[in-house]
Amino acid sequence: MNYLEQSQAAGRHILPDLVRAFALFGIVLVNVAYFAYPGEVTYHYGGLKTSLDSAAYFGVNALFLFKSYTLFSFMFGAGLAYQMMSAERRGVAFGPRYFRRIVGLLILGALHVTFGFVGDILIMYAVIGGILYLFRNRQIKTLMRWGISLIILQIVIAMLFALGFYLGEIFDPESMAAIGPETESAMAAAAAIYKSGSFADIAAQRWSDWVGYIGFASAYQAPGVLGFFLLGLAAVKSGSLNNPDAPFWKTARNIYLPLGLIISITGAAISHMASSPLSAMGMLGMAIILLGSPFSSFGYLGWLAKWSAGPISRFKIFMARGGTSTLTAYLMQSLILSLVFCGYGLGLYGHISAAGCIAIAAVTGIVTLSFSSLWRKRFTRGPMEYLLRSWTYLGSNKN
């Protein structure tokens, strides 16, 4: 059974798989900065050497930052709905399988931090996925109200971060100035480990950095992640994700996308003018990009819906098929980039400027999606999807 036949048998359109593929490509363009430079400031740590570097960094911030993970989160919520419908069709209990899947994601996330990437999203997805389960039987309107409210909360939190930095710079500049040398010293120590440390040293540093990252991410990202989980669940329940001709998608691409891009470009321009992301202007730029993200993300969904509804082509099938194994591709991206930049690999940490890093990321995205698509041409599931599914269905009938 080929990809299209499998999708039709499952009652699914190709749109969700195209969204996953698009999101994953954007994710690697954003993530590469955190493999190549300290996460606190990324390319501001010596990676913006030419106008090409600045243009590439600006483009990723304007077009992909806070949008790719948003789409990925949206599809995670959609995945919960698909899993529930599958369990219902088969007449099996959904809860035990779902929570085994959550535990599986936690384990994979821990391994991901150890072997690949400090900015792992799987642990957060697993924890927030447990909260999502509580909403599984809620009405569509309830899911949408909660989802939109949580996204607004995330934006408010981001604005408060920016306000806090601004007030600190105005009323307590001495303390704010003291933060700089301390942060610089910590970043230099971490950078030295990533550049030339052993695998054990780098793994330990990743976990040390992860503790700081997850504290910030829990406040800055978690509300939005749950919000888009809920909207993804609502999209499947309403039937819009399986209907690329739904009126909402036209509105999204014609109205939301231009609005979102204008806001995001404004935020990227403000970020570009900031001396550091760890400043009031840097935080304001990020908050404005975050404000534009929901509009841009749904605009992208609208265009992907239009593309998915058009004539079937080999390229479209190739991309959609790659989108069925995004867990495999996501983890592969981290494996490749860690080997490129870490000391136990090529050791290029801090040596390649922004444009070069983003080019490496683009190639990595193409390679991993191609691998996933070609793998799926021969096998029913991607290797990591097979592993997670085997754990999820442990001791039960998979059919």
- Would you say residue 365 has pLDDT above 60? yes
Residue 239 — left, alpha, or beta (φ > 0 → left; ψ -120 to 50 → alpha)?
left
Q: In this predicted model, what pLDDT tens digit does every residue of 12-25 receive, in sequence order?
A: 679 999 999 999 99
Higher-confidence position of 236 and 172: 236
Per-residue tokens: 78: 């959609």
Higher-confidence position of 397 and 255: 255
pTM to 2 decimals? 0.93
The string of DSSP letters for 74-117 reads HHHHHHHHHHHHHHHHHT--SHHHHHHHHHHHHHHHHHHHHHT-
pLDDT at 4: 63
Per-residue tokens: 148: 């939109």
Q: In this predicted model, what pLDDT tens digit does every residue of 227-256 receive, in sequence order?
A: 999 999 999 999 999 899 999 999 999 999
CB 235 within 8 A of CB 241: yes
Q: In this predicted model, what pLDDT tens digit does every residue of 33-87 receive, in sequence order?
A: 999 999 889 999 999 999 999 999 999 999 999 999 999 999 999 988 888 877 7
In this prediction, residues 349-368 reach a mean pLDDT of: 97
Sorted by where each begins, the domain ranges of the chain are: 3-392
- Would you say residue 274 has pLDDT above 70? yes
pLDDT at 338: 97
pLDDT at 184: 84
Under DSSP, the state recorded for 14 is: S
pLDDT at 215: 84
Closest CA to 348 of 32, 83, 121, 88: 32
The string of DSSP letters for 215-280 reads HHHHHHTHHHHHHHHHHHHHHHHHTGGG-TT-HHHHHIIIIIHHHHHHHHHHHHHHHHHSS-SSSH
Q: In this predicted model, what pLDDT tens digit does every residue of 216-225 receive, in sequence order?
A: 888 889 999 9
Distance CA 213, CA 210 (A): 5
Per-residue tokens: 212: 């700081």
Query: Picking from 90-99, 121-130, 161-170, 253-262, which range would have the lowest pLDDT averaged per residue?
Result: 90-99
pLDDT at 176: 75
